[in-house]
């Protein structure tokens, strides 16, 4: 998304949670300005620093980028540069879940432990990810100019519009507009990503293997890629017979990966060439559709294909507008490079003969705005599903796995009282390989009103999130990935509501917000985990402010 505005736009946002010892802070800024009607540019910054409510858990995330766009009749361009840095201290989870679920068994005469004093599994361990990309898409459009004639009533002084006996004079306005017919398109993306895992203090038997060093780890890998796409588009709507747009394109991607090895670094080069096309109808009010497909023709892309189709139908039902959406896709794709190759101190694999993953999905959605109702349901089939097994190593399930899912969103309103609801049901045919919570709930009850001569908007409420128990994937810091839980360490998470109480105040360009997060801590069941052995934060107070400037 690119901003295009006749006045400069700036947003400054600041969040704060908890205290200075173990809380977190976040600062965000966004700026955009237009040099003229066609050329715009700006930047964004997002910095988050969390000290951590558990030992060895501090996190720093930094994202900054600049962007520009030029939207002319014939030439159009959008470009962006983004840079990401994420640093995470890793604690490996707490040593015993009972510090959370049954603190009376662990307290040694105390009521309970403070979160910052609960023993954890790792120290002096960290992951760091650095990524940047440059993205440019531009096109040149060929077409013709046509005249548009409009006839309007002239605003003549002294003539009464209500007097039918006096004819009003007419103004004829002739304007010219550019009608594009064909576009020549080029897109390029250059990206480099680096990952480092360091562990200065490791104990014997902590990992099953040590390929380079038995007492410390200094793992690293780099990925670099350049992708170009060239396309030719016949545009929709340039005459009455052009009911849809048609695009053909070819893409080439070069990727280079560097992995650790015993004496030096190992380099892998891969190339992919795809040819594809798109048929799309985006104009009009009743029916829109989009069909996009591509097939690989060289090197790693050979035998791969993807087809996506979307349709939306909009029609009147009594006094309502009903939206019906249908979506589907079929794909046959090679598992990602790092599922096929990875070299590190404790995890090392080269799976050159992995099979392609074949997926099909169909989905339908019904939306009725006036009733505040949205219903979505779908079914997906996956063959050769690729995942990390109980040993945190890549594996494939040769059989078929089906996933059924349905989501209902239903909002209610009575005066200033609102209740927003979202319920998701899902079922996996193979819970061992692809575990899912069968039911996920979100409810938000709040008061929303305008006061102080309707210049102050006030929202006061509480929300709750809940999902049923299941064997959620475990997390291994050494590969920074989630995987199936080990056989000797099976634990179910879920069955615990997370309740927040909040307030939002909007005064003209400024918004103030406050929240008491996890307000139900210590009430009833205390199984507050989102991943095995990684409890969520205890109860804490959050506050923030956001300013918008239009000058």
Q: Which position has the token pair 């707490």? A: 94
Higher pLDDT, 80 or 370: 80
Contacts of 318 (CB under 8 A, 6+ apart): none
CA distance 399 to 537: 39
Q: Is the pLDDT of residue 162 over 50?
A: no
Q: What is 376-422 written as a DSSP string?
A: EEEEEEEEEEEEE-TTS-EEEEEEEEEEEEEEEEEEEEETTEEEEEE
What are the beta bridge partners of residue 193? Answer: 131, 223
pLDDT at site 159:
45
Burial of 236 (0-12, 13-18, 19+ CB in 10 A): middle
Provide the token pair at 350: 């080269």
Residue recorded with tokens 């475990």: 474
DSSP H or E run through 485: none
Higher pLDDT pick, 262 / 112: 262
H or E stretch at 550: none
| Cα–Cα distance, 29 to 40 (Å, whole number) | 17
Task: Tell whether the model's pLDDT for residue 155 goes beyond 60.
Answer: no
User: Percent of the chain beyond pLDDT 70?
Assistant: 95
Kindly report, residue by residue over 322-364, the tens digit of the pLDDT: 999 999 999 999 999 999 999 999 999 999 999 999 999 999 9
Pairwise CA distance, residues 537 & 194, whole Å: 29
The pLDDT tens digits for 219-250 are: 999 999 999 999 999 999 887 777 899 999 99
Of residues 423 and 240, the one with the higher pLDDT is 423
Report d(CA 347, CA 329) in Å as an integer. Answer: 34
509 to each of 43, 45, 109, 502, 542, how far by Cα in Å?
20, 20, 52, 20, 21
Give the Cβ contact number of residue 175 at 10 Å. Answer: 9
- Higher-pLDDT residue of 425, 178: 425
Q: pLDDT class for 383, splitting at 50, 70, 90?
A: very high
- Dihedral, 345, 350, 355, 360 alpha carbons, nearest 10: 30
Q: How far apart are CA 179 and CA 283, in angstroms?
A: 14
> What span, in angstroms and rounded, lies between the C-alpha atoms of 277 and 249?
6
Average pLDDT, integer, range 297-314: 95
Whole-number pLDDT of residue 463: 98
Burial of 272 (0-12, 13-18, 19+ CB in 10 A): buried
Q: Is the pLDDT of residue 381 over 90?
A: yes
How many Cα atoms within 13 Å fall on the side-chain side of residue 219?
A: 24
**Strand 39-50 to 59-71 pairing:** antiparallel
Verdict on whether the full-model pTM lies above 0.85: yes
Stretch 272-288: mean pLDDT? 95
- Can you tell me the mean pLDDT for 379-405? 97
Residue 236 region, left (φ>0) first, then alpha (ψ -120 to 50), else beta? beta
DSSP 3-state assignment of 168? coil
Confidence of residue 163 (pLDDT cuts 50, 70, 90): very low
Share the mean pLDDT of the chain. 93
From residue 369, alpha-carbon distances to 353, 372, 460 in Å are 49, 5, 24
- 539: Cα separation from own chain's centroid: 26
Question: Is the pLDDT confidence value at 161 over 50?
Answer: no
- From residue 476, how far is each of 55, 100, 337, 389 by CA, in Å? 17, 21, 19, 12
Percentage of the chain modeled with pLDDT above 90: 80
Span 366-372, average pLDDT: 94
For the chain, what is the largest distance between any 2 Cα atoms, rounded to a whole number of angstroms?
A: 102
* Whether 284 contacts 236, CB under 8 Å: no
**pLDDT band, residue 167 (cuts 50/70/90):** low
14 — phi, psi (to 5°)? -135, 130
List, for residues 489-498, the tens digit of each pLDDT value.
999 999 999 9
The DSSP code for 495 is -
CB 227 within 8 A of CB 188: yes
What pLDDT sits at residue 469?
Answer: 97
Give Cβ neighbours of residue 226 (< 8 Å, ≥ 6 apart): 188, 189, 190, 253, 254
CB-neighbour burial class of residue 328 (10 A; exposed 0-12, middle 13-18, buried 19+): middle
**What 3 state SS string does 61-120 have?**
EEEEEEEEEEECCCEEEEEEEEEEEEEEECCCCECCCHHHHCHHHCCCCCCCCCHHHCCE
Query: pLDDT of 451-510, one tens digit each?
Result: 988 899 999 999 999 999 999 999 999 999 999 999 999 999 999 999 999 999 999 999
Question: What Å distances lie between residue 527 and 122, 499, 530, CA to CA?
Answer: 22, 13, 9
**Which of the four pLDDT bands, split at 50, 70 and 90, describes residue 154?**
low
Q: What is the pLDDT of residue 165?
A: 56
The beta-carbon contacts of 441-449 under 8 Å, at least 24 apart in sequence, are: 441/465, 441/466, 441/467, 442/466, 443/419, 444/418, 444/419, 444/420, 445/417, 445/418, 445/419, 446/417, 446/418, 447/416, 447/417, 447/418, 448/416, 448/418, 449/416
Encode burial over 468-491: b for 16+ CB neighbours within 10 A, e otherwise. Answer: eebbbbbbbbbbbbbbbbeeeeee
For 339-349, how does the pLDDT look when each residue is reduced to its tens digit (9 = 90+)?
999 999 999 99
């Amino acid at each position: 998304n690119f901003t295009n505005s006749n006045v400069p736009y700036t947003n400054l946002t600041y969040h704060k949670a908890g205290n200075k010892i173990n809380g977190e802070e976040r600062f965000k800024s966004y700026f955009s300005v237009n040099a003229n009607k066609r050329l715009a540019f700006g930047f964004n910054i997002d910095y988050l620093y969390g000290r951590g409510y558990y030992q060895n858990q501090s996190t720093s995330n930094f994202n900054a980028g600049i962007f520009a766009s030029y939207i002319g009749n014939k030439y159009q361009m959008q470009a962006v540069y983004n840079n990401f840095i994420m640093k995470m201290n890793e604690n490996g989870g707490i040593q015993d879940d009972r510090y959370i679920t049954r603190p009376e068994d662990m307290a040694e005469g105390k009521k309970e432990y403070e979160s910052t004093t609960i023993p954890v599994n790792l120290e002096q361990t960290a992951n760091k990810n650095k990524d940047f990309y440059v993205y440019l898409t531009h096109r040149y459009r060929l077409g013709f100019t046509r005249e548009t004639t409009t006839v309007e009533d002239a605003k003549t002084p002294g003539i009464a519009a209500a007097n039918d006996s006096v004819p009003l004079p007419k103004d004829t306005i002739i304007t010219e507009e550019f009608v594009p017919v064909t576009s020549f398109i080029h897109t390029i993306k250059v990206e480099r990503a680096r990952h480092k895992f360091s562990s200065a203090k490791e104990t014997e038997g902590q990992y099953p293997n040590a390929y380079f060093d038995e007492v410390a780890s200094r793992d690293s890998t780099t990925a670099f890629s350049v992708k170009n796409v060239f396309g030719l588009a016949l545009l929709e709507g340039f005459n009455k017979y052009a009911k849809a747009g048609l695009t053909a394109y070819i893409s080439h991607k070069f990727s280079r990966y560097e992995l650790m090895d015993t004496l030096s670094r190992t380099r892998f080069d891969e190339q992919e060439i795809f040819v594809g096309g798109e048929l799309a109808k985006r104009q009009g009010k009743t029916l829109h559709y989009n069909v996009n497909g591509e097939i690989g023709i060289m090197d790693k892309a050979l035998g791969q294909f993807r087809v996506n189709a979307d349709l939306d139908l909009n029609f009147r039902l009594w006094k309502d507008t009903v939206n019906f959406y249908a979506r589907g896709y079929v794909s046959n794709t090679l598992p990602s490079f790092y599922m096929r190759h990875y070299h590190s101190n404790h995890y090392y694999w080269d799976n050159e003969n992995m099979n392609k993953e074949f997926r099909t999905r169909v989905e339908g959605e019904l939306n009725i705005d006036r009733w505040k109702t949205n219903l979505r349901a779908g079914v997906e089939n996956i063959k050769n599903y690729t995942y990390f097994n109980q040993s945190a190593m890549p594996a494939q399930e040769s059989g078929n796995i089906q996933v059924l899912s349905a989501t209902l969103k239903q909002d209610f309103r009575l005066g200033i009282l609102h209740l927003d609801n979202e319920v998701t049901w899902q079922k996996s045919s193979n819970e061992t390989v692809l575990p899912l919570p069968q039911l996920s709930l979100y409810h938000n009850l709040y008061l929303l009103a305008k006061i102080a001569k309707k210049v102050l908007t006030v929202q006061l409420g509480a929300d709750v999130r809940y999902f049923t128990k299941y064997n959620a994937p475990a997390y291994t810091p050494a590969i920074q990935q989630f995987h199936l839980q080990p056989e000797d360490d099976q634990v179910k998470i879920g069955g615990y509501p997370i309740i927040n109480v909040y307030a939002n105040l909007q005064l003209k360009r400024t918004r103030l917000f406050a929240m008491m997060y996890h307000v139900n801590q210590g009430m009833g069941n205390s199984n507050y985990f989102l991943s095995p052995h990684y409890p969520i934060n205890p109860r804490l107070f959050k506050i923030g402010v956001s300013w918008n400037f239009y000058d």
